[in-house]
Structure 1
């Protein structure tokens, strides 16, 4: 269960480790840029920091720094593995929107503080349609221009500046002195097997926007405002967002392969946590140490974490989206770790495991844990093409109702609790059992209910199964021995032609296997 607060579109660049931009730059235009009034073809001005800049602005300096460089390596790469898959996806979208101009922005840099930004992450629809992942260029825009027999796809982005330009050395947001080498139009065109143009030319696309122009609205607010002004109102953009979500419900072979890689890296991250448990328990904020250990693996083996890691020890496990992670990890408690590595392609795992901090489950912890595992196993057992997605949740809830009734926690029978007008057992599990997984941790979220919750399961779908039981420390409806215990078990599941595969099945799941896992690595 990933937290819902993950940043969709964030950014890269300045880290505050050096003076930013050169004297002679134009910080007074930064306010216009922040308000979205700057033309796309203009180089973005760095934030107003000239009051502390020490970069020389003399002509002698400019001439000297712009000379004496070795030739660039302009070799064209072979098309990346996902390029043909992205082309097929664009063709599917094109067939749904004949005669419509489609604009899919990557998104822009998002300010974290003053002149620092969040790590950039392109919008999922943009990544899906282009094949660009963690190397996406901020501010890029994919345009599908209608033609007589479909669409012509063009990727607009800001090409690298020449070394004779002050952008090269003086702009900490896009200058290569600051953020490293950037690609040329030709290199990206070869890499993605996609036509490219400079970002300045996207202004012509915006100028031509009309009632037949649609845009992915949430990706770039400033660009969306410009398009709205041109077409004098919003077109059915929500339908475009919906269709892009629904097209991603069934994964292609490339996507499934990337999800496998993400799960494998996540398994290594869990191993790292167990191996570090002695250090974790000695720190007063051991949950932070758990988070740091896993994040190190995510950065080493992938792009980042797919969402904020939940490291919830003891009663914190009863807080569904506990991401503060500032508590101790105490032997005798359980720690709930909900974490996923995001691959360079942006595909993410989402896995939860419960670890008994001292290496062994207590009798009560074991009882609750095995009830949750029973619910997860029952839900997994019914997964195959043709069932309704909501049946996965319903099956898990039958077990949760049965066990909580057996323990005397419900004022009614399990059968009565399961009635739509009752649902007493949901006091102890208020969240859903499954969500789709892919480029977004909660993937395909804008799909219609009839395609998602009430949809028919198909081969190639990937989703989580994550039942839980949460007994709050102050819940007087449960015996004292249960209070403060929270358990969730989450696996990533691929629907196959005749059933399902647990992509995360190699990560220990039974109580006995978890104890053996901890003994082996600790």
Structure 2
């Protein structure tokens, strides 16, 4: 057998993706490429805007887990195809508790180490224990490798030649304010006081970190595997609930994301004339927004919906491969993710030619009325999260009833035995917003839908009406019209609720004037 054929048969599949490259491993080359480098001229590290807020976040989270070691992984690169990865995006709990945004730091892990009392024993869960700060943060990551290392030039995933320099330990500490340690020392930290300190980890984020936690648990006689699932899920839930009320640093990032998103909408308005002449006009719109998102932010907070005409009636239309026709409405649902990873979530429904027809205006104003009703409800004392939805839907039902579309009374359709209105408004009106476009998703119902609005909560108000072109229960003039209006709102410290997206026009008069002004240049 040919030796090359034999080598291929014994080479593992996972290693064959590198067969397209020639590796030079001579000693002469390694010595040459590792020498002759001057001092790096890296700019001084910029502290994370969240740096001063991290102790307070640890205090709130740690109060539920006194004396326990908490492990929050960042996650890993995900393979897109063969040896190409998707851009890295950290798990939201890790981003929130480290303040690291952008595309930092794959494979890293945050350990919240329990503080001890004067006798050196872990703090217990006693309500009488009034110590404010229960944990300190230690971040474990791959620090910058020396240029004399093989990784520097040969590792296409982590090597500086390929992906640029990573932070040093000192730089990481300056950015986050946390103690920073090399990733390979993480197992030692996890094993410290094994058996005396309970371990919790956010699961299904990093298999290596999770395996390291399991190994320590097994060796220390702690609960492991599926038996530990409930313990770990309590940490995941608490980290999600922690984000229900945003601090000032988070609110600032959300406001910036909204501001960039407004500029992205104006970019889309500018290209509308070109989109109407393109076979995939919706992608012309999508592309304009995507450019702004990458120029000024980290990228898109979620896939842009640019749904023209009847496509607006598909709630999550992200194919964006249709034409944009004169006289149609185009529903655009888009949000920029800032470098901090906080995202906006805005929807506007625009007339392609800059002017609403009377029928379009009728549907649009009904949805706008529902937006106002939701905001007015949110400003009432004692409002619960789900009350915003109910107020907006009741307003839409009033319009549907006045147009003679409902097969039953307004009261009946809003009852538990009804629901017919959902043919034209099938989704929820609100969701929490933050590091995830649907933030705090692990919060239990009593902390989410049934909870009263509290200062720092940021959420959307997004009613809509969707009239499919083949819906024979509708008058013909309404068929093919889909309208959604979505704003991002914040509960202020005094309990009042304001739109973060107030500067993005929403009334018919303001939208038409806005489009005219933007397209005029």
| TM-score normalised according to structure 2 size | 0.89
Bigger relative contact order, structure 1 or 2, given CA contacts below 8 A and separation 6+? 1
Match of 1:516 in 2: 513
Q: Given the alignment, which residue of 388, 398, 403 partners 2:399?
A: 403
Q: Which structure is larger by alpha-carbon Rg, 1 or 2?
A: 2
SS in 1 for 2:490: strand
Q: Given the alignment, which residue of 191, 201, 206 partners 1:220?
A: 206
Match of 1:372 in 2: 367
Match of 1:183 in 2: 167
Q: How does 1:56-205 map to 2 (within 5 A)?
A: 56-73=24-41, 77=45, 79-149=47-117, 150-205=134-189
In 1: Cα distance, 2:296 partner to 2:115 partner: 42
| CA apart distance, 1:28 | 6.4
Q: How does 1:444-463 map to 2 (within 5 A)?
A: 444-463=440-459
Q: Conserved in 2, the CA contact under 8 Å of 1:76 and 1:186?
A: no
| CA apart distance, 1:254 | 0.6
Q: Conserved in 1, the CA contact under 8 Å of 2:363 and 2:465?
A: yes
Q: Given the alignment, which residue of 280, 285, 289 partners 1:285?
A: 280
In 1: Cα distance, 2:143 partner to 2:239 partner: 27
| CA apart distance, 1:471 | 1.0
Unaligned 5+ runs, structure 2: 1-9, 118-133, 218-223
In 2: Cα distance, 1:180 partner to 1:389 partner: 45
In 1: Cα distance, 2:475 partner to 2:46 partner: 63
Q: Conserved in 1, the CA contact under 8 Å of 2:88 and 2:103?
A: no
In 2: Cα distance, 1:153 partner to 1:76 partner: 22
Match of 2:502 in 1: 505
| CA apart distance, 1:318 | 0.2
In 2: Cα distance, 1:79 partner to 1:339 partner: 29
In 1: Cα distance, 2:156 partner to 2:190 partner: 27
| CA apart distance, 1:156 | 0.2
Q: How does 1:405-420 map to 2 (within 5 A)?
A: 405-420=401-416
CA RMSD of aligned residues (A): 1.8
Q: Does 1:53 align with 2:21?
A: yes
Q: Conserved in 2, the CA contact under 8 Å of 1:280 and 1:287?
A: yes
82-91 or 47-56, which deviates more: 47-56
| CA apart distance, 1:79 | 3.5
| CA apart distance, 1:207 | 4.8
Q: Conserved in 1, the CA contact under 8 Å of 2:187 and 2:212?
A: no
| CA apart distance, 1:85 | 0.8
SS in 2 for 1:412: coil
| TM-score normalised according to structure 1 size | 0.89
Q: Conserved in 1, the CA contact under 8 Å of 2:170 and 2:180?
A: yes
Residue 286 to residue 75, structure 1, CA distance change in 2 (3 Å): closer
413-422 or 336-345, which deviates more: 413-422
In 2: Cα distance, 1:100 partner to 1:48 partner: 43
| CA apart distance, 1:148 | 1.1
| CA apart distance, 1:293 | 0.3
Q: Does 1:316 align with 2:300?
A: no
Q: Conserved in 2, the CA contact under 8 Å of 1:337 and 1:353?
A: yes
Q: Does 1:267 align with 2:262?
A: yes
Match of 2:350 in 1: 355
Question: 1:269-314 deviations in whole A, cap 9, x for unaligned?
Answer: 0001111111111110011111110000001111101000011111
Q: Conserved in 2, the CA contact under 8 Å of 1:87 and 1:129?
A: no
SS in 2 for 1:103: strand
| CA apart distance, 1:406 | 1.1
| CA apart distance, 1:123 | 0.6
| CA apart distance, 1:161 | 1.1
Question: 1:8-30 deviations in whole A, cap 9, x for unaligned?
Answer: xxxxxxxxxxxxxxxxxxx9688
Q: Given the alignment, which residue of 472, 479, 483 partners 2:479?
A: 483
In 1: Cα distance, 2:300 partner to 2:186 partner: 32
SS in 2 for 1:353: strand
202-211 or 234-243, which deviates more: 202-211
85-94 or 502-511, which deviates more: 85-94
Unaligned 5+ runs, structure 1: 1-26, 32-46
Aligned length: 481
> Which contiguous aligned blocks of 4+ residues in structure 1 show a shift greater than 4 angstroms?
27-31, 73-76, 206-211
Residue 48 to residue 87, structure 1, CA distance change in 2 (3 Å): farther
Residue 481 to residue 228, structure 1, CA distance change in 2 (3 Å): farther
| CA apart distance, 1:225 | 4.1
